[in-house]
Structures are given as C-alpha cells and as structure tokens.
Homo-oligomer: A and B are copies of this chain.
C-alpha cells in the first residue's frame, strides 16, 4: 500500500466490517489493482478532486459520467440552493417537472413525452415494460457485454439471479448485421424490443462505434418486424449530441433512457418516448418516493441550458480529441504503443496488444501516482471543465507517468 493512501486504507478496513465487499458497484473495480488507486473521495472542484488523504487528481472519470459541466458548478449550485430553500420533496410534483418534460420533448429528436426516476436502471427496466405493453410481445434483445443496469434481467453476473429473470432475454453481437438477422429470423415475431447503447463500451475492451450498415439494419429490421428500438443513453446522453446520442449515428429509437449527466451529479433519470407509446406508457405504473423532488429536476433544467449555451458536445469532442492525440503521440515518442477508441467526449486509451490488461493497469496506476485519474478498464469521460489548458496539464502528467512506468511495462 502506497503511503499516499493511509486514510483510504483505514476507511476501507472500517468499511469492510460493515459493508459487504467494503466498496460495491462501479466504485469497486479501482480496487482490482490493489494499492494503486484511492478508495474514498473528500472534495471536488471543476476538473479536479481530492481523496481522503488530500491527494489531488485531474479526473477523467467525472464520477463515472454524471459530472458534465465540472464538479461543484457555481451556476448549478446557485439554482439548487434557491430551489432547496423552498423545499425539495413534496406530496406533488412541482412546475419544474413539467418544464423538464417539455424541454426533453422539444430537445430530444423523436421524443414527445418524458417521465423521471432516480437511477438509469429505473428507466431501462420500465422501458421494457412499456415495450411489452405496447407490442403484446415478451422478448427483449440486447448486445452481448452491454451494460443496461442492475435489475435481474440485465445485471452483470449471476448473484441471486434465477432462470426466469432472463428467460425472455436474447442477445446479439454488436456491429454484426449477420447476428442481427439471425436474431430476427429466430425471434422476430416474439421481440417486443431491442435495447442498444449508442456505441458499444464494454469493460475490459475497446469501445466500438456503430458501423453505418449496422445502424441501417437495426432501423430497418425494427421497423419491418414491429420491434421497438430502445436507446439506453444513460452513459452517453448529452455528451455526444444535444438532441440525443442517436443523432450522432442515425439510430431511430422509440424510447430513449437518460440519467448520469442530465443533472450534473444530482440524482435523476428520464425516459422519453414517441407519441405512439404514450398510452402504453401511462399503463405501466412507476413511482418512487423521491421522483418528484424539485432540486434534481431544477438542476437538470439548468444543466441542459448551460450545455446548449456552451455548445458542449462540440467542445467535449475537440478537447477529447486533443487529449487522445496527445496521449498517442506521447506513447509513440516514449516507445509505449497505445491505441484509442470511442468518441472524443468519452475516450478510452490503452496499451496496445495488452490482452491481460496488466500493462494498462500499470500505466493507469502510474498516471494516478502523477495526479491524473484514469480508469484502466472502463471508458473515460470529459466535462466542460476539461479546458484546453487542463488537457495540456493532463498530458504533462501522462508523460511523467509514461516515463516512470516504462520499466514496469517492459518496453
């Protein structure tokens, strides 16, 4: 254990006594490289955060996506403080709920209505109910290795899962038109919906943008066979395209699910859909104790306003591409072959031909040591706070990391 992480480790030991696994979920994988990553955070500002030991990092994970404008954004803070002073969680919705539904119906390509929850999973799971209600069919297909949440029909792993949970779930291979055709040939008459992410971003693998022929086949097969197309835009939403990530690639979804970046860290999720599905949607009961709360919805309204004003998807693309090309150039000049994948706003760079990911883990550990927080096995995220100047600072820290770990990488 690095002496940098004395408090992190002490807290992890306390956590292990009272929390199964100590740290669970998406925050846990950093622990797969024991001792190389901090375990607990303390504060954050803009593009940076500090762990409980006071170590500072430029963060390229953005809380695994939620932080779109930067941590602790002053305009968001001002709005939420003002709304919070009036109260947050009531017996009824507030006007903000209506305003946000109106905004999404106007902003998202193809959307005529919206509902709101707390988790991405709330919406991906509800959307398959809407698809089943609308079509009267049972089966749902998803891409192999795609992540759509933690409900039993889709959660990674098998802990506590029974056969019935996935009895009506099919899969296909991302970007394989042949696999799609096979799926539809086999189950087309029984498929209520196909759920996709805008691009494929499995863990421990490179990201894959959709090929144009895959997009065309997806749209045509769904149309032809009366299969609804559900876009799980939870991870990508509002980073790639302000009208929904499907607009970046040409997918024509019927239902679109959002969460993460929508409220710049405030807990909110949304499902937007086409007019034809509105009656079916109204028949699929959904609720949650905090779903009408005003503060996260007001945060989302402000987040969308700022993102539009700043033309954010373009900025994230440009600055992300600056980051990636800088990293690749540094790799080349230091003799460490790197490869990149995914869009600029959500890039992933890793050591080339490193099937075990051990070199990648060593490189990311060295970056973290230099104060650049990189995840070894998961796509990264840019925020508005990753300005050109911050990207330059990232590259300086990355170069120092490359120099330090060259011997570890055995190159």
Chain A residues within CB distance 8 Å of chain B: 11, 14-15, 17-21, 23-27, 30, 38-45, 49, 51-52, 59, 61, 63-67, 71-72, 77, 80-81, 84-95, 97-98, 101-102, 104-105, 112-115, 117-122, 125-126, 128-133, 138, 150-152, 155-157, 159-162, 164-165, 167-168, 234, 259-260, 265-267, 278-293, 296, 373
Contact = CB atoms under 8 A, between A and B. Distances in A.
A63 B289 contact: yes
A39 B91 CA distance: 9
B89 A63 contact: yes
A27 B285 contact: no
B160 A128 contact: yes
A362 to B, nearest CB: 20
B155 A138 contact: no
Contacts of A80: 84
A325 to B, nearest CB: 25
Contact of A289 (B23, B44, B97, B259): B259
A254 to B, nearest CB: 14
A77 B86 CA distance: 11
A61 B90 CA distance: 9
Contacts of A59: 91
Given A84-B77, A289-B260, A284 B160 contact: yes
Contact of A159 (B30, B151, B284, B373): B284
B113 A18 contact: yes
Given A129-B159, A279-B20, A284-B159, A119 B289 contact: yes
A118 B20 contact: no
